[in-house]
Amino acid sequence: MIKVTALQNHFLIPLDDFTQNPDCNFRGREQECVSLIKKCKSLEEFKQAHAQTLKLGIFWSSFVASNLVATCALSNWGSMDYACSIFRQIEEPGSFAFNHMIRGHVKDMNLEQALQVFDEMLECGVEPDNFTYPTLLKACANLPALKEGKQVHGHSVKLGFGDDLFVQNSLVNMYGKCGEISLSCAVFDKMVQRSVASWSALIAAHASLGMWGKCLEIFRGMSSEGCWRAEESILVNVVSACTHLGALDLGRCTHGSLLRTMSGLNVVVETSLMDMYVKCGSLNKGLFLFQRMIEKNQMSYGVMISGLAMHGQGREALKLFNEMLEQGLKPDDVAYVGVLSACSHAGLVEEGLKYFGRMKLEHEVVPTVQHYGCIVDLLGRVGKLKEAYELIKIISIEPNEVLWRTLLNACRVHQNVAIGEVAARELSLSDSGNAGDYVVLSNLYAQSHSWRDVAKTRKEMMCKGFIQTPGFSLVEMKRKVYRFVSQDVSFPKCDGIYEMIHQMEWQLKFEGYSPDTSVVLHDVDEGEKRRRLSSHSQKLAIAFALIHSSQGSPIRIVRNIRMCSDCHTYTKLISSIYDREITVRDRNQFHHFKDGTCSCRDCG
């Protein structure tokens, strides 16, 4: 702690002499006092320094007072209330004091107060500078406040800061976080000079909206312009993009860039990388990283448990959960979602119900909709639809669309129209507005050949303005991700792909393959059903991969919807005929096809 006497000893002239000769080296006193203020390590020390400036009569210097405000507002031990009290005593605060008040409020997430200070700054006739606007735009981004952000943008241009690099970077970030990605891109495109932070802001803007393909496209553009040394934030967003798109090769390159960029990877980055490998189909690499981690936390275990569950290794996931308990880590709600998912994917009904009970009684984790959803899925997978429906009716929390949608999908798998209609009715009463619900119900009717109900459901979907998102499959080749939809003829050289499909089907006949036309849920003849089956997006992606990859190399595909039974049988046989390991990540889990078998044991 700084004693008052020790504080006085920092000054060259005793206090009595200074008050008698106030003009003596006044500027030097200011500098020394500010230096002392910046050395404070607690609010108590700071208050003593503040008191000393009052005793010495130099507080009223704008230079000293503004530095008091800046130190108190931005230090980890600081207090915005105390900083405000100092600020109010300054007769004519300048831009420096106002800027630090705004920064302090943004640091403490008092975002609306930050904007109010800016209004006061303008009312006092103090002109903002290039340090003012980036902080203001950060406040607008975090609120988010698009209207106010546009006003700040206009104000910055009016005062001549429209071309300032830091202001432009902040604008890219602000528009992105406010969901106006087109404006974010417009600012970026007009920038004469760009820094790594500029690219980082643009990538983060697209990542916040889940535009993962665009993130990778921007990253490639950044590399082509010579910005090789990417920041950690850019690389973490690129890792997230690779995770969502299943782009393993690019993910590996990004991992290497992180190792070159950072002296050591922290637990958050390591967990993100582990998640990327697991969700890109490389479970072994994910496990390797997990085992090499010096520090593991609840999230690390949760990601690995969920990863094992997705890859059909339910019992291994439960073993890892028990290891987590042995390490003294208390499981949270995320870890238990992984555990219950593992039981669901592995069909471990009794174990799942047992862990659900332990969650509440032993570890005092309050069940959420996600946990109940796992139990509904667990019961639904084994055909216990009535039990799942009864559970939804008696749970203590209000059922939401997640539970009803899980039940509806289980009804489609097991062709239970009665309970499926109940689930669909509940979904129609919610505000979810999901076209997929109508598609699943329509498919359920189609399976029972209730074509009139199919037409009725489709008509209702169209009247409500819902547009069905088409199913697609993604495959990565040479660090680029290619997207295929069913019946796709838009791809360059698509004739070669359909020729490959023809060759594949010719060889499949010798393996006894017969298309399962029951999965084509349209009222068309058998010939048309066979034609539609042959050009499912997954089959097109496999044909493309076989053409453009070397013999024996693995194929990895990501789907946005669940794999149909025909594609499942088809891919099993192709893995044996062409001696390829084919990994498919659909909406529910991973399927590892090898030598004519699948890791899901045909229970996916």
Is residue 490 assigned to a domain? yes
The tally of domains found in the chain comes to 1
Asked whether residue 3 is domain-assigned, the answer is no
Residue 4 is predicted with a pLDDT of 42
Partner residues linked to 477 by β-bridges: 480
- Please confirm whether the linkage preceding 144 is cis (ω < 30° from 0): yes
Torsion angle, alpha carbons of 439, 444, 448, 453, to 10: -50
In this structure, the number of other CB atoms found within 10 A of the CB of residue 48 comes to 18
DSSP state for residue 511 in the 8-state scheme = T
Nearest-5° angle of CA 297, CA 298, CA 301?
Answer: 90
Residue 357 falls in which region: left (phi positive, over 0), alpha (psi -120 to 50) or beta: alpha
Position 587 in a domain? yes
Predicted pLDDT at 523: 73
Residue 41: inside a domain, yes or no?
no
Token readout for 233 is 């934030």
- 589 within a domain of the structure (yes/no): yes
Q: What is the pLDDT of residue 186?
A: 96
Rounded-to-integer distance, Cα 163 and Cα 274, Å: 40
HSE-up of residue 513 (Cα within 13 Å, Cβ side): 25
Residue 496 covered by a domain: yes
151, part of any domain: no
Q: Is 231 within the bounds of a domain?
A: no
Q: Which domain holds residue 484?
A: 474-598
Query: Which residues of the chain fall short of a pLDDT of 50?
Result: 1-24
